[in-house]
Chains A and B, each alone.
Chain A
Amino acid sequence: MNPLSPFLHSIRHARFTAALAAVVALTVAGLYLFIGLARETYIEPAYALNRYLTKFNLVQPDQTELDPDLAARIRANPDVARVLPEGDLTIKAANIGGASFPFRLIGLRAEDAAAVLAQSGVSLKEGRLPAPGTNEVALSEEIALGLSLSIGDTFDRTRDEKAYSNIVSPLRLAGILSGEVRLGILSYEFLDGDEAYKELADFGLLAIAKPGREAAMESYLMESVRNSTTKTITYRYVSELTAGDQRLLYTLGFPIVLLVSAAIALTIDAINQLAFQRRLAEFGILQAVGYRTSRLVMRLATDTAGPALVGWIAGILLGWGGMAAASYAVYAPRGFAFGAMSATALLLTAAVPATVAGSALLAAVRTLGRMDPVAVVERGQLTLEGERFRPASSRSGLPRPLAPATYYRRHPRQAFTLFGATLFLILGTALLFCLFAAGADAVRPSLNNLLRMSAVSPNSGPLEAELVGLVREHPAVERTIDAYAFVPLKISIPPMFPNQPIETLCVTAADIAFLTELYHLSLAEGRLPREGTNEIVIPWAAAKNRNLRIGDVLGDPAAPAYPGAPSLPVPIAVSGIFAPAGDPAEETWFSFMSLEYVEPFRASGLSLIVVPKAGGKESLDAWLEGQIAGGGRVVLTYRNQQAAMRREMGSMLETFALMEAVITLVAALALAGLHAVFFSGREAELGVLCALGFTRTRLIGRVSAEVFALLLAAWAAATAGCLAVLLFLQYDVFAAAGLRLNFLNPVPWLATLPIPAAAFAACIVLTARALARMDPIAVIEKRM
């Protein structure tokens, strides 16, 4: 038996070991859940919904029709087994946290469906496959579950504008599929035969590789077929698209892990300091009897590293449990069940025990390097010099022995540890909210487009003349405008919201002039689009964001205006750029084109823009929402779009809040533990003060004031840190991208509060409990 083994120390000091392991375990569990759930919410569904692309690939033209020669070449490729015609429509599958992911409903001929299912390892579980030429759909059970659809249910745009924006007439769920990948299939004949769907669907080829040649076919498609006019939709292509989001997650997640790890390392360093003080005699004696300092350093470090490792394993197990519970209770009902094991979380949380072990080693070197065994044996202190305190700041000043400043000036290490741990923990969570709020604020101008008007859009075909007449005759209506809306460009909003569509309203020249006047828009450069031309006027934000200038051409696949710019049926030229609004609250993202020009290319019916009379917007919007919406029509008002945006943001906020709650709980426990460590060293001081006549309430007040002062300082520093990040975002990222940030948004500032508040409450409860049990006589008689 080795009496100096860390194992024996852990067994004989079970409480200390358990406390250390518990702090690490809770931190690791919190971070594991944070990273694992973020990945399962925002990244994994994109892979899960596109995993069918490991079974077959799609090739589609970027504009009109696929080059017949290209189709023949694909068929002739030696790695390709079959090539089938396909058409697809995209719906969106929603996960928690406002995350939604596109999912293709693939239109197949009846004779091809069985082959595609067999290739995909999918079979019919219930119902039947779509009958040719009908509006029937078969969906994988996970997709049907997430969309709350059962056999016989119908769904279209009116049921959920966001999920089914492309489903302009009802589709009916006829069958449930089950198997290796998620699939949604419908009748190719139906897509091709329905006028509205033929416009909305993407048609192309579905290529199946010969057995074992899947990778070779994917490479062929990606490298030899993919070009500016042909899309090749493969798993690698989807992975490349998702990789950006994955990088974003790591970019956001890694600093959080580091900050929390640093805070926990500080906490454990303090616990170690206390433990070392209690083991001073042991180490002094060991050195006095001939143990080398390096051996003692290793011993002290391994005494911490062991419990940290145990804590890490326990934390991973706790995290697994949490993930399994979340998967079962929250994600599975949305069709996104997952395994509890997260390699990313496992890897990132390893930073916690590593940081703890590293800081323990440093602390051991620092402390044992100074230790004088004679001082330990003779006086029970680390060195013969004893403790060194900073003298009073001003010798002529008024002494304030019980002021928090005096305490922390004499205990700078404690102050630094508590301050640093709190600061890191607040920053670790609040920064996420800063980035989220910045992104959310940046998209507000799109909502402002509806500040002085509303819109009624058809699901398919034109709006009924009778309904248009009804709207025009409403007493609160000032003017109605026929408009065709489409999205020729998207703004990039770093770092949380990669893209935000800029909708262009195609209206007559007179209406462009009217709307420009209505919204007090002024041109920064160029001119408004002329009637019947391919000119477009774009908002200042879009010009800055995509570095567009007057004369630039959008939509030309051969010469994209910016990386990733979409191809359009006809190229359009930037003729004007609107100036930014003087008041950020009035900022809009208006873009106009000539309705006459786009008429021949129009893919759907005209919308009706409704401008209310002065003071009549509220009542008009209520009427539109109540009387006009539904029945194949979508009504967009400022109020309902604001509510939709709030719902989406609220859902994201809930996810972040859940993550912050986990970290806050860990933080409160860790900071309270840290406080308890420091407090335990003050029993004599507080006991004597109690004996001298300080009431327990007053002592609690004194300790509270000390904790409050330090947490306040850490909160102020963290808030300053958040402000610095927001300023950086505004002036270095957003301004260059034509975006504005709202510094008055309360979300990031409110996110800084839970950790100090929880830590304060936990510290005070702990102090009150300890002081209530304290017996001043025991302190005086040294029976503590």
Chain B
Amino acid sequence: MLHGENLTLQYRDGEGVVEALHEISFRADDHQFIGILGPSGCGKSSLLYMLSGLRKPTRGEVYLDDRPYSRMTENERTDLRRTEFGFVFQQHFLIHYLTALENVMVSAPVQDRAHAEQAKALLAELGLEGKRHRFPHELSGGERQRVAIARAMIHRPRVIFADEPTGLLDRRTGLQVMALLRSYREQGGLIAVTHNPEILAEADLILKLRDGRIAGVEDRVSRRSAEQPA
């Protein structure tokens, strides 16, 4: 479904050129949970931005269903983010003057009654039924992140990109949030970036990055298959 080939990202830093990512290649299939693991500054977020079309690689190519991003206009890539992808960031980035329900509806493909009902159902499913008319500042950190997850799911994207989705949450809330994100695997894929290996416990594939390079790949599906008795 989504794959990157030789993704390299360089940027100028003062006089010199910094290579944030070096020839990263990997493939994500439908309904897969892929984790990108690494310490701060190793290029995890940059890889996520490239895969989601937010940032262009210096070299290399990203394909969605064999359609290369480089052949798309900026508007087409933007539309792709709106229709095919969902996002959950480290900070909730909810719009501060919109209620929880309205924030979810921002990503609805059409602002109609059916999607409003769907948004309400989603919020109820995420335990926010009684709080859908509250503004972000009236919600706790975990609740805000759950609203952000609902916003990422309302349009049923093929992939949800999650960038340190539990970074600002306590451990218990963080695990709850990851459980909610993992539950999406029945409908689409999940690509999560983190420096915390605990939240990738159920990932199908873990890509380990160090200094912009792949330091290791952990294919847990194959391992789980191998470990299962015949």
Is B63 engaged at the interface, CB distance under 8 Å to the other chain?
no
How many angstroms from the CA of A691 to the CA of B102 in the assembled complex?
17
A-B contact pairs, 13 of them (CB 8 A): A389-B97, A391-B99, A398-B116, A399-B102, A400-B105, A401-B105, A406-B98, A406-B102, A689-B95, A691-B87, A691-B93, A693-B81, A693-B83
The smallest beta-carbon distance between A399 and chain B, in angstroms, is 5
B69-127 residues at the A interface, CB under 8 angstroms: 74-75, 78-83, 85, 87, 89, 91, 93, 95-99, 101-103, 105-107, 111-113, 116, 119
Other than the given A387-B97, A696-B74, A697-B75, 14 more pairs (CB < 8 A) read A392-B102, A395-B133, A401-B103, A411-B97, A689-B95, A689-B106, A691-B54, A693-B82, A693-B85, A693-B107, A694-B78, A695-B74, A695-B75, A777-B49
Residues of A within 8 Å of B97, CB to CB, are 387, 389, 407, 410-411
Is A149 engaged at the interface, CB distance under 8 Å to the other chain?
no
Residues of B within 8 Å of A690, CB to CB, are 78
Chain A residues engaging chain B, CB cutoff 8 angstroms: 386-387, 389, 391-392, 395, 398-402, 406-407, 410-411, 684-685, 688-697, 776-777, 780-782
The smallest beta-carbon distance between A748 and chain B, in angstroms, is 38
Residues of A within 8 Å of B116, CB to CB, are 398-399
The smallest beta-carbon distance between B82 and chain A, in angstroms, is 3
How many angstroms from the CA of A623 to the CA of B179 in the assembled complex?
96
**In contact, B54 and A692 (Cβ under 8 angstroms):** no
**In contact, B54 and A399 (Cβ under 8 angstroms):** no
Secondary structure call for the A interface: loop
**In contact, A398 and B111 (Cβ under 8 angstroms):** yes
Most buried by B among A406, A691, A696: A691
The smallest beta-carbon distance between A596 and chain B, in angstroms, is 84
The 7 residue pairs across chains A and B that have the minimum distance between CB atoms: A693-B82, A693-B81, A401-B102, A410-B97, A688-B93, A386-B137, A695-B78
Contact of A399 (CB < 8 Å), options: B49, B96, B105, B163: B105
**In contact, B95 and A693 (Cβ under 8 angstroms):** no
**In contact, B111 and A400 (Cβ under 8 angstroms):** yes
The smallest beta-carbon distance between B165 and chain A, in angstroms, is 13
How many angstroms from the CA of A695 to the CA of B133 in the assembled complex?
27
**In contact, A693 and B80 (Cβ under 8 angstroms):** yes
How many angstroms from the CA of A692 to the CA of B148 in the assembled complex?
11
Is B45 engaged at the interface, CB distance under 8 Å to the other chain?
yes
How many angstroms from the CA of A781 to the CA of B74 in the assembled complex?
20
The smallest beta-carbon distance between B145 and chain A, in angstroms, is 14
How many angstroms from the CA of A695 to the CA of B76 in the assembled complex?
9
The smallest beta-carbon distance between B11 and chain A, in angstroms, is 11
How many angstroms from the CA of A386 to the CA of B83 in the assembled complex?
34
**Are A694 and B112 also in contact (CB < 8 A) when A387-B96, A392-B102, A685-B95 are?**
no
Residue in A closest to B152 when the chains form the complex, CB atoms: A692
**Are A684 and B75 also in contact (CB < 8 A) when A399-B99, A399-B101, A401-B105 are?**
no
Residues of B within 8 Å of A777, CB to CB, are 49, 54-55
**In contact, B95 and A401 (Cβ under 8 angstroms):** yes
**In contact, B105 and A695 (Cβ under 8 angstroms):** no
**Are A684 and B82 also in contact (CB < 8 A) when A391-B133, A398-B112, A399-B101 are?**
no
Contact string against A for B residues 27-55, beta-carbon threshold 8 Å, 1 for contact and 0 otherwise: 00000000000000000010001000011
Residues of A within 8 Å of B137, CB to CB, are 386-387
**Are A392 and B133 also in contact (CB < 8 A) when A690-B78, A693-B83, A695-B75 are?**
yes
**In contact, A693 and B79 (Cβ under 8 angstroms):** yes
The smallest beta-carbon distance between B168 and chain A, in angstroms, is 12
Residues of B within 8 Å of A688, CB to CB, are 93, 95
How many angstroms from the CA of A689 to the CA of B96 in the assembled complex?
13
Residues of A within 8 Å of B102, CB to CB, are 392, 399-401, 406
The smallest beta-carbon distance between B101 and chain A, in angstroms, is 5
The smallest beta-carbon distance between B112 and chain A, in angstroms, is 7
How many angstroms from the CA of A616 to the CA of B171 in the assembled complex?
98
Residues of A within 8 Å of B74, CB to CB, are 695-696
How many angstroms from the CA of A572 to the CA of B83 in the assembled complex?
88
**In contact, B89 and A780 (Cβ under 8 angstroms):** yes
**In contact, A692 and B82 (Cβ under 8 angstroms):** yes
Residues of A within 8 Å of B98, CB to CB, are 401, 406, 410
The smallest beta-carbon distance between A380 and chain B, in angstroms, is 12
**In contact, A781 and B45 (Cβ under 8 angstroms):** yes
How many angstroms from the CA of A713 to the CA of B99 in the assembled complex?
26
Residues of A within 8 Å of B133, CB to CB, are 391-392, 395
The smallest beta-carbon distance between A701 and chain B, in angstroms, is 13
**In contact, A402 and B93 (Cβ under 8 angstroms):** no
The smallest beta-carbon distance between B106 and chain A, in angstroms, is 5
How many angstroms from the CA of A406 to the CA of B105 in the assembled complex?
13
Residue in A closest to B163 when the chains form the complex, CB atoms: A780
Residues of B within 8 Å of A693, CB to CB, are 78-83, 85, 107
The smallest beta-carbon distance between A114 and chain B, in angstroms, is 83
How many angstroms from the CA of A731 to the CA of B107 in the assembled complex?
55
**In contact, B79 and A389 (Cβ under 8 angstroms):** no
Residues of B within 8 Å of A695, CB to CB, are 74-75, 78-79
The smallest beta-carbon distance between B56 and chain A, in angstroms, is 11
How many angstroms from the CA of A387 to the CA of B136 in the assembled complex?
10
Residues of A within 8 Å of B135, CB to CB, are 387, 389
Contact of A398 (CB < 8 Å), options: B80, B103, B113: B113
Residues of B within 8 Å of A401, CB to CB, are 95, 98, 102-103, 105-106, 111
